[in-house]
Amino acid sequence: MANPIEVLSWVFILSGSIFVIIGGIGLLRLPDFYTRIHAAGITDTLGAWLILLGLMLHEGFSLNAAKLAMLLFFLLATGPLASHALAKAAFLRGLDPLQGRGLVDRHEVDDNA
């Protein structure tokens, strides 16, 4: 068995992959644009962080680890900005969010009408 830090980096990378996949599933499964932003947020935050942290642990203390940290910072800085810009653009152009617990039922009503 490898040393504990290596094992920790495996755990991080694999759990990061799981969160990336959950984000992908959410992107397909959620009912409207605004809720899908939340799903994309999972990939952008925890999924990316865990994978990059795992790679940093694997890398140890080196120049490449610093580059990974920079990558982490860029994703941290640009991710929310892009999400916000998209949400604002959609909102200002009149795309109304579905609201309330009965939103799936509203779809069914729409189908009947």
Partner 1 sequence: MTGVFAAATAAIVVCMGLTLIRSIVGPTVFDRILAVNSFGTKTVLLIALIGYLSGRPDFLDLALVYALMNFIGTIAAMKFTRFGDLAGMEDEESEELY
Partner 2 sequence: MKHAVALFFLLMSVWLLNSGHYTVLITSFGIASCLLVVWLSRRMGIVDDEALPLHLLPGLPRYLPWIVKEVVKSNLDTSRRILSLGRPDISPRLFDAPTTQHSDLGRVIYANSITLTPGTVSIRVHGTKITVHAIADAVADDLLEGEMDRRVTLLEGETE
Q: Are 37 and 86 in contact (CB under 8 A)?
A: yes
CA separation, residue 73 to residues 34, 37, 38, 76 (Å):
25, 20, 20, 5
Q: Would you say 2 or 110 has its CB closer to partner 2?
A: 110
Task: Enumerate binding residues for partner 2 (CB under 8 A).
Answer: 19, 22, 25-26, 29-32, 34-35, 37-39, 41-42, 45-46, 63, 66-67, 70, 76, 79-81, 83-84, 87-88, 91-92, 97-101, 103-104
DSSP 98: P
CA distance 102 to 47: 30
Per-residue x/- track, 7-36, partner 1 (CB under 8 A): ---x--xx-xxx-xx-xxx-xx----x--x
98 is a contact residue toward partner 1 (CB under 8 A)? no
